[in-house]
Structure 1
C-alpha cells in the first residue's frame, strides 16, 4: 500500500492533470493553476504550483488553507478517512493519462466540470457524525464554560475524524467537534473541525487542531437562527467558542460564527437585519473583519454595533470572569430593547 507521501509525489508528477480533474473551472497561468477554492468555485484565491520542486503545493489566500495534492483531493471530495482519500487518489492515478495531460478529458474549454457539488461534499462528512450530547466534544465545551451546547443542531461529534499533518504527511485520527457551515437558507456548504485529545485534555496535540472544509465565503455556523423570514437582530463573530459563550448568556438571540476574520468581513447579512452586533476579538485580524463587515452593513442600511470583551475574547471572559460579569458587560453595550429581550432577567 502506498504511503501518503508516495501518493502525493505521484500526483505531483502530473499536477496539471490533477487540477483539471478536481479544479476544472480554474485555468493555468504560467507555472500555477488558479481557481477560487478547493470547492472548485470561480475566482483567483487558490494557487497550485505545477512545476519545479514544489509542484503540487497549493495555498488559498482567502482561507489560509494549504497543502499538497493529496490534501487537495481530500478537501475537494469531502473525504474524512485516509483510506477513502488514498482510494480516490489511486483511482485517479490508474486512469489513462494521454500526453498532453490537458487532452485527457477533452479540451479544457469544453470539458464539463466534475460533478462534485460543494454542499454534498460537506454533508458527506456531517452525515457520519454522532449527536453531541454526552460526547467527548460536549465535555470539551463544558470545560470551556459552554453549557447546553447539545441544543444547537449545528454541532455534532465524530469519534474518529481523519487528520493529516500538512508538513510531515503523517496521518492519524482523533475525536472531533464538528460544526455545520450553512448558507442563508440552511443548506450545509461546509464544516469546521476541532480535533480533540482522546483523554479529554482539551484540543488534540497537533500542529493545527482546527480546520474548515468546504465552501465558507459568505456563509457561517449558525445558532438560534431562523431560516425563514426576516432576522432583525443578529450577533456575528469569528471564533466558534467565543460565539457559543455569547449564546450561553444571550439565549434566543440569532448568532453566527464566520470562523475567520476574512470570512467575517464577507458574511452575507440576513434579510430584514436592522441591527448587527459584531463580536470583537482583540487582534489585528479581528479588527479587519469588524471594519469590513461594518462597511457592508452600513451600505445595506443596517446599524453595526461592536460588542467588546473585557479580556481577549468572550470565551475568556466567560471562563475567567464568570457569566454574571459577562452579562453585566453585555448589558452596557446592547440596545435597551435587545437587553430586555435576550438577557436573563
Structure 2
C-alpha cells in the first residue's frame, strides 16, 4: 500500500547518507547533498540526493538535473540494484534497515518507475512565457528601489501581473504581481523559474509569509545575465548579482538562488576564472568553500568577492555606487579591472 511505501521511504530518509554511501558509492557528499552521476550509481555530478530535512523537502528525495528524473531512496535501491520486482526492493530496504521481513501474505505496496515527468519544468516554461519584459513595470520600480539601475541583459527577468500565490497546500490561491526569473542550464534551456511576489506599487516585496519561491529543477542551473566566455561571477541572490552588474557591466554573472545551489552550480566548458560572490552568513561560507574547492579541482581559478555588510546589495544601498566600485576593485584580478569594470568619470 502507498502508506507502507511512504513509511519505508521515511525510515530510509533518516539514514539518507548511509543509504547513499551503500547504494551510490560512486558519489560523494557535497554540502547537504549526495552527488553522483545518476540513480544507477554512475560516476558523475548531475544527480543530487537531499541528506537532511529542509524547507525544500524531506531527506532522501533526489533529482537528476540531466534527465529530469526524480524520486526517493526506494527508487535508488531499485535502480542501483537493477531490481524489477518491488517485492525485492522492499526486502532489500528491510535488510538494510534491519527490519523483520514482510510476511509472504502481506500486500506489497505498488510502485511505478522513477518519474521522468517534466511537469515542473513545463509549468515553469509556461509561466515564464506568459510573463512580459520588465521595462516599464513594477519590477523595474522594485529593483530601482533597491539601488539597482543597471538593467542591461536582463532578458532572464520578466513581470507577471497575476502570479498565483498559495500560503500552504490547503489554502486558497491569490493572484499577485511578481518578478519571474528564468532558471536556465548551460545550453540556455529554461529548467525552472524563481518568483518574487511584489507589492502592487513595486515599493518592496509583497507582505506575505514567503514572497520568494522557486519551481522546476534548479540544481546546477542559475538565473543568468550575459553570455559566459572564460570568466564569470556566481552568487546567491538576484539582487546581489544585479548590484555587482552596476559596476561590472561586462562580466557575465549567474544567480544560483540559494547557498546550496551556489555550491553545486555547473561550470561552463570554457570557464577559466570564477568570481565567487559571498553572502556573509554560515550558509554562505559553506557555499563559498565548497564552490572554490570544486573550481580548483576543475582547473578553474576561483577568486572570492566579499561584501562589507551581509551582501553586495546591502553595500550598494548603504554606501553607494562609488564605494561599491572601490570595494570591488581591490578584490578583482588587476587584468580584469579594465576588461569588466565601469570606471568612475
TM above 0.5? yes
Q: Which residue of 2 aligns with 1:166?
A: 168
Q: 1:313 aligns with which of 305, 311, 314?
A: 311
Trace 1:115-126 onto structure 2 (pairs within 5 A).
115-126=117-128
Q: CA deviation at 1:184?
A: 0.5
Hey, what's the Cα distance between the residues in 2 that align with 1:62 and 1:207? 26
Q: CA deviation at 1:199?
A: 3.2
CA separation of 1:264 and 1:115: change in aligned 2, threshold 3 A: closer
Q: CA deviation at 1:28?
A: 4.6
Give me the CA root mean square deviation: 3.1
CA separation of 1:113 and 1:155: change in aligned 2, threshold 3 A: same
Task: Report Cα offsets for 1:109-149 as digits up to 9, x if no partner.
Answer: 5x684643543232111111011001011110011111142
Q: Which residue of 2 aligns with 1:130?
A: 132
Check conservation: 2:2, 2:109, Cα contact below 8 A: no
Hey, what's the Cα distance between the residues in 1 that align with 2:212 and 2:317? 20
Q: CA deviation at 1:168?
A: 6.9
In the alignment, is residue 292 of structure 1 matched against residue 290 of structure 2? yes
Q: Which residue of 1 aligns with 2:70?
A: none
Q: Classify the secondary structure of the residue corresponding to 2:336.
A: helix
In the alignment, is residue 153 of structure 1 matched against residue 158 of structure 2? no
Q: Classify the secondary structure of the residue corresponding to 2:246.
A: helix
Gaps of 5+ in 1: 1-13, 18-26, 49-56, 64-99
Check conservation: 2:150, 2:242, Cα contact below 8 A: no
Hey, what's the Cα distance between the residues in 1 that align with 2:169 and 2:121? 28
Trace 1:165-314 onto structure 2 (pairs within 5 A).
165-166=167-168, 169-226=171-228, 231-314=229-312
Q: Classify the secondary structure of the residue corresponding to 2:293.
A: helix
Hey, what's the Cα distance between the residues in 2 that align with 1:159 and 1:216? 24
CA separation of 1:61 and 1:232: change in aligned 2, threshold 3 A: farther
Hey, what's the Cα distance between the residues in 1 that align with 2:273 and 2:202? 39
TM-score, with normalisation over the residues of structure 1? 0.69
Hey, what's the Cα distance between the residues in 2 that align with 1:58 and 1:225? 29
Q: CA deviation at 1:200?
A: 3.0
Count of equivalent residues: 267
CA separation of 1:62 and 1:121: change in aligned 2, threshold 3 A: farther
Hey, what's the Cα distance between the residues in 2 that align with 1:239 and 1:168? 29
TM-score, with normalisation over the residues of structure 2? 0.69
Task: Report Cα offsets for 1:316-341 as digits up to 9, x if no partner.
Answer: 11111111111111111101111110
CA separation of 1:15 and 1:46: change in aligned 2, threshold 3 A: farther
Q: Which residue of 1 aligns with 2:90?
A: none
Check conservation: 2:235, 2:254, Cα contact below 8 A: yes
Gaps of 5+ in 2: 17-32, 34-38, 40-45, 62-106
Q: CA deviation at 1:252?
A: 1.4
Q: CA deviation at 1:171?
A: 2.6
Q: Which residue of 2 aligns with 1:343?
A: 341
Check conservation: 2:153, 2:226, Cα contact below 8 A: no
Q: Which residue of 2 aligns with 1:45?
A: 50
CA separation of 1:42 and 1:342: change in aligned 2, threshold 3 A: closer
Q: 1:30 aligns with which of 1, 5, 8?
A: 8
